[in-house]
Amino acid sequence: MVDLPDYVKYIVQAPRDLIEVSLQYGDLTVQPMLTRPAILNGVDVKAKNALVTDYIKQCCIKPPGVTAAGPSGTMNSYEGGYYSRALILKNGTGERALAKECLDEWVLNQNADGSWSQLYYPVRNILNLHDEVEDIQVDSGAAVLIWAMADYDASIGPASTIYLAPVQKALSWLKTLQNYYYSVHGKSLLCNMVKDGVMDPTALMADCGEVLLAINAVLDQYGTGLTTSLGDSVKTIGNDLYFALGGFCYAGDLGRYWYTGYPPGQQTLIPFTYKEKLTLAQALTSWAVYAWYNGAHNTGADLTGPCEKTLDLALCLMHGKWGGFIYSPYYALADETRNEYPSYTAQMVLAMNAVNATKYAGYITSGIDFLKWLALADGRMFDFVRPYGELEIGRVMVAGVQAKEEFGFIGLNSALAILAGA
């Protein structure tokens, strides 16, 4: 790690409240940091930094290609895909080779049914594999990994099939999620996850969007006639998913948003802060529906009508004062904030670029400026900015209590910002 003179000077006074933390042997009073990094310090403005891969390479990827959420985090399938895609795009010295190391490590741990667990311990076991943290397999984790594998083969050349076999296996597993979801709801979305062997009867639009984007990339590289390892047409899987997303997951012109999940309002097996009009759902669903219809593999009708409408709604309700995007519309409820996040901003920039780069040019520029504002010179990124400009890193849990002291920089923010063009 480098020292931190690049952001320590941009500080504001923090509230001097004390935090009571219950520990095993009694209570501990914690004094928060007296200063916080901030975008503004008087008339001085924090420098904007173009994103580099140094932090991801030095602190988030451990030999041999173990992709962790942060310097002391678990091995994550989602991060594995996005780190690899960022390295392939940047293509600095040795970076595509490093991306291959990361992807090879994931091939090593692919389950027999084609899935990957969401989280693994980063150290290999006696069998030279990684033990899973929990028995959870998520659709988006598999999607971004095969997306990265297709990207890597594309970087080698149009005839490259290095990762064809693991991609086909993963697509077979994703097809089982689609089959189960259709058997329950009569629509060709995908179950969000499998937990302890139980399929989730809920689909998330953002995750389905990532699956559709991944299928598009896979077909572009391996051909429109590609089948899964069990012989199903990948093109049909994609077209069925496109029809389900575009045909059933839009709230209509009175609402002008993509649902968070389907059935609407139904929680997933692992509950999260469920809100409608999520920024991430508007970005990824619009991008995926638009890209599929305008790509080479669509066989259906034009369902892109909601794409600009939903992005417009996100700009109206979720675009923050610093140029970034918040989680969902803010109604001053207890579980809501106006914090602006780099990950949602990066996905919105990617979606706006795909759907109508001319119309959204100003917002794209301000989004990239926001991402550079949150970046440090070595590629670390703050996790969010508060309404008054305070910058925050990750939070640490102490005895089940979320303390206010910063913990670490999340590598996924850096990877997404790179992919967005920052």
CB < 8 Å & 24+ apart, contacts of 384-388: 384/324, 384/339, 384/340, 384/341, 384/342, 385/39, 385/320, 385/322, 385/324, 385/339, 385/340, 386/337, 386/338, 386/339, 387/320, 387/321, 387/338, 387/339, 388/12, 388/38
Q: What string of DSSP letters covers 17-35?
A: --EEEEETTEEEEEPPPSE
- What is the C-alpha separation between 86 and 381, in angstroms, rounded? 15
- What is the C-alpha separation between 375 and 279, in angstroms, rounded? 21
- pLDDT at position 36 is 60
**Sign (positive or negative) of CA dihedral 194, 195, 200, 204:** negative
- What is the C-alpha separation between 337 and 321, in angstroms, rounded? 13
| pLDDT less than 70: residues of the chain | 1-36, 41-43, 394-407
Give residue 174's identity as a one-letter amino acid code.
L
Contact 328, 277 (CB under 8 A): yes
Q: Which residues contact 88 (CB under 8 A, 6 or more apart)?
A: 95, 96, 99, 148, 151, 152, 155
Total number of domains in the chain: 1
- pLDDT at position 234 is 98
- pLDDT at position 407 is 52
- pLDDT at position 159 is 97
Peptide bond into 263 cis (omega under 30): yes
Model pLDDT for residues 337-388, shown as the tens digit of each residue:
999 999 999 999 999 999 999 999 999 999 999 999 999 999 999 999 999 8
Q: Strand locations in 157-284, DSSP E?
A: 193-195, 198-199, 203-204, 261-262
Q: What string of DSSP letters covers 32-95?
A: PPSEEEBSEETTEEPPP----SHHIIIIIEETTTEEBSSTT--EEHHHHHHHHHHHHHH--TTH
Peptide bond into 64 cis (omega under 30): yes
- pLDDT at position 16 is 37
Burial class (CB in 10 A: 0-12, 13-18, 19+), 272: exposed
| Token couple for 339 | 């914090």
- pLDDT at position 218 is 98
- Hey, is 112 helix, strand or coil? coil
- pLDDT at position 392 is 85
Domain of 190: which CATH number? 1.50.10.10
**Sign (positive or negative) of CA dihedral 204, 207, 212, 218:** negative
- Residue 372: other Cβ atoms inside 10 A: 19
pTM, to two decimals:
0.90
Q: Where are the alpha helices (DSSP H) in 225-278?
A: 234-248
- What is the C-alpha separation between 281 and 204, in angstroms, rounded? 8
Torsion, Cα of 375, 356, 347, 288 (10° steps): -160
Enclosing domain of residue 412: 5-420
- pLDDT at position 44 is 76
- Residue 117: other Cβ atoms inside 10 A: 22
- Bridge partner list, 61: 67
